[in-house]
A and B are shown apart, each in its own frame.
Chain A
Amino acid sequence: MSAIILFTAVSIAQLMLAAAMAIAFVRMFRGPRAQDRIIGLDALYVNAMLLLVTFGIGTGRVIYFEAALVIGMLGFVATVALAKFLMRGEVIE
């Protein structure tokens, strides 16, 4: 019984997060200006991180957690660097 509940919930959550990733990708592809694309990239990596954690719950392995942590950290640095580039035209002054 609990396996059925868990399997259903994980499957629906994966579908929802995949749809959210697709929407963020659409915005990143279509976004009228550069800042929209950067926010789309940010939303894309946050959703990918959540999807990895959901995979970890589905398979019962802890290895996905570390991948999610790395994605979170690198994504933050990437978004800050891109925002700095938009502001100044260069990343390191």
Chain B
Amino acid sequence: MILAPADLPLWAAIAVAFFLLFGASLTLIGAIGFLKLPTFYERIHAPTLGTSWGVGGVMLASMIFFSVTSSRLVVHEVLIGLFITVTTPVTFMLLARAALHRDRAENTGYAPEKKKASLPVQEEGQIRPADN
């Protein structure tokens, strides 16, 4: 059976309101940081606030709400939360690497220089006459 939202018990309403406001305010803070931060490599950090606990808070609120109103355990919001949590690092790492590539190709000065290939792992493959 499905209850109307007005018949929600008080503890459930408070929990839903808390998680909803928590998630929404974290998302807003992330968006403000996204607008304010000066360079691209700093800006890429800000929206992850919305994709981690912003999504987590809103999904927890939705889970509590639908579990209480339909009086059974509703966990299909976990699907969205898991999907966003898994895909956001992939997306942002691809984007950051693309931005690094472009900045290096155009010498804009934002990107750090590439390290010189002087690691000992790469030298071991070479033939060293001093060893014999």
Measured between alpha carbons, how far is A68 from B83 in the docked complex, in Å? 12
Contact yes or no, A2 B20, CB < 8 A: no
Q: Please report whether the interface of chain B is mostly helix, strand, loop or mixed according to DSSP.
A: helix
| Number of chain B residues close to chain A: CB under 8 A | 57
Contact yes or no, B21 A65, CB < 8 A: no
Contact yes or no, A60 B43, CB < 8 A: no
Q: Which A residues are in CB contact (< 8 Å) with B59?
A: 53
Counting residue pairs across A and B whose Cβ atoms lie within 8 Å, the total is 169
Contact yes or no, B6 A3, CB < 8 A: yes
Measured between alpha carbons, how far is A2 from B87 in the docked complex, in Å? 36
- Further pairs besides A24-B47, A39-B92, A42-B91: 7, Cβ < 8 Å: A13-B58, A20-B30, A33-B102, A43-B34, A46-B54, A50-B50, A60-B65
Q: Which B residues lie at the A interface, using CB under 8 A?
A: 2, 4-6, 8-10, 12-14, 16-18, 20-21, 23-25, 27-28, 30-32, 34-35, 40, 43-44, 47, 50-51, 54-55, 58-59, 61-62, 65-66, 69, 76-77, 79-80, 83-84, 87, 90-92, 94-95, 97-99, 101-102
